[in-house]
Structure 1
Amino acid sequence: MLKVNDIDVYYGHIQVLKGISLEVNEGEIVTLIGANGAGKSTLLKTLSGLLKPKKGSIEYLGSNIDGKAAQSIVKAGISHVPEGRRVFANMSAEENLQLGAYLRKDHDGIKKDMEHVYELFPRLFERRKQQSGTLSGGEQQMLAMGRALMAKPKLLLMDEPSMGLAPLMVKNIFNIIEMVNKEGATVLLVEQNANMALSVAHRAYVLETGKIVLSGTAKELQERDEVKAAYLGGL
């Protein structure tokens, strides 16, 4: 579904991604783990058209998408749940969800998907008229996920969904990631909570200072000593 070929990405003169290549197959949950500053968020921003690679190519469903505008990438079926939620604070929860569907014209489908988001996140239904800025961190994370789902994505890019959340809420969010995947969305997940990420993923890549240093099935990486020592609390 997604093929990243040897991309370099810079912020100004500083190179952040160095020759990154990876693949995501349809129906998978693939996770990227790595320390802060490894380049994980930069990679997702590049895939969703917010940053442009200086070298290399990005193929999605057989078409080249590097350099395309972010809105045409959303239209093609890639949705991005950004780090830090980024909800529109002065708008209601429901208005945020409606914005997720702004490129769609199928009114019946939008209504059906809104109902489905409320089934996945009953709390959002309770809070639908509430200003998004007044929601808790966990509720805002649900809203950011719901908003991305309203675009009806084939590929969901998720950046640090567990950040700053209580353990019970983290478990809930990861259950929903698995549910969304079973319903047909492919997921590329960036996550610092490596234990949780590897427990739901099919495959994983480890990023260090802008380079992929390890890859394999989630189970293989869970058993690697260097992964245990660096990311799994030495378990």
Structure 2
Amino acid sequence: MLKVNNINVSYGAIHAIHDLSLEVNDGEIVTLIGANGAGKTSTLRAISGLTPIKSGEIIYNDKVISTLGAHKIVAHGLSQVPEGRRIFGDQTVEENLLLGAYLRKNKSEIKESMEEVFNSFPRIMERRKQLAGTLSGGEQQMLAIGRALMAKPKLLLLDEPSMGLAPIIVEEIFEIIKKIRNSGTTILLVEQNANAALQIADRGYVLETGSVVIEGLAKNLLNDDSVRRAYLGE
């Protein structure tokens, strides 16, 4: 479904991503783990078209998308939930969700998608008329995921969905991620909680200073001594 081939990303003189390659197959949860500054968010931003790449290519469903603008990439069926949620606090829950469907034209299908989101997230359904800025952190994360799902993506990019959340809410968010995959959406997950991410993923890539240093099945990475020492607190 997604192939990232030897991409390089720079911010001025800072070379953030070095010849990075990865692959995501249809129906998988693939996770990127690594320390702060390893290049995880930059990789997602490059895939979704928010940060231009200097070289290499990104192929999604057999089409090169690394030359497309971000809005065109969304139209191809790829959505990102950004780090820090980035909901619109002065708009209602419903208005935030409708923004996720801005490229869609069929009003009845948009309404149907909103009901699907509310079925998945009953807590935000109860707050559908509330300003999004009044929601708790966990509810805002659910709203950010729901907004991305309103675009009907085939591939969902999730950037640090557990950041700043209480442990019990983190468990709930990861259960939601599994349900999204089970409903037919492929997921590329960036997560500092490496243990939680590897528990639900099929495969993983470990990034250090903008490069992939280890890759493999998630269950193998969970049992890799170097990964356990560096990222699992053992």
1:6-155 matches, within 5 Å, as 6-155=6-155
SS in 1 for 2:56: strand
Q: Deviations over 1:29-76 (max 9, x none)?
A: 000000000000000011110111101000000000002110000000
Name the amino acid aligned to 1:84.
Answer: G
Q: Sequence identity of aligned pairs in percent? A: 61
| 1:230 corresponds to | 230
Name the amino acid aligned to 2:45.
Answer: K
SS in 2 for 1:177: helix
| 2:189 corresponds to | 189
Name the amino acid aligned to 1:154.
Answer: K
Structure 1 residues without counterparts, runs of 5 or longer: none
- How far did 1:233 drift? 1.0
SS in 2 for 1:197: helix
- How far did 1:163 drift? 0.2
| 1:163 corresponds to | 163
Counterpart-to-counterpart distance in 2, 1:119 and 1:20? 38
- How far did 1:13 drift? 1.5
Name the amino acid aligned to 2:97.
Answer: L
Counterpart-to-counterpart distance in 2, 1:16 and 1:187? 23
- How far did 1:24 drift? 0.2
- Aligned Cα root-mean-square deviation (Å): 0.5
TM-score (norm 1): 0.99
Name the amino acid aligned to 2:149.
Answer: L
Counterpart-to-counterpart distance in 1, 2:22 and 2:180? 22
Counterpart-to-counterpart distance in 1, 2:154 and 2:78? 6
How many residues were matched structurally?
Answer: 234
TM-score (norm 2): 0.99
SS in 2 for 1:59: strand
Structure 2 residues without counterparts, runs of 5 or longer: none
SS in 1 for 2:229: helix
Q: Deviations over 1:71-128 (max 9, x none)?
A: 0000000000000000011100110001000000122211111011001110101111
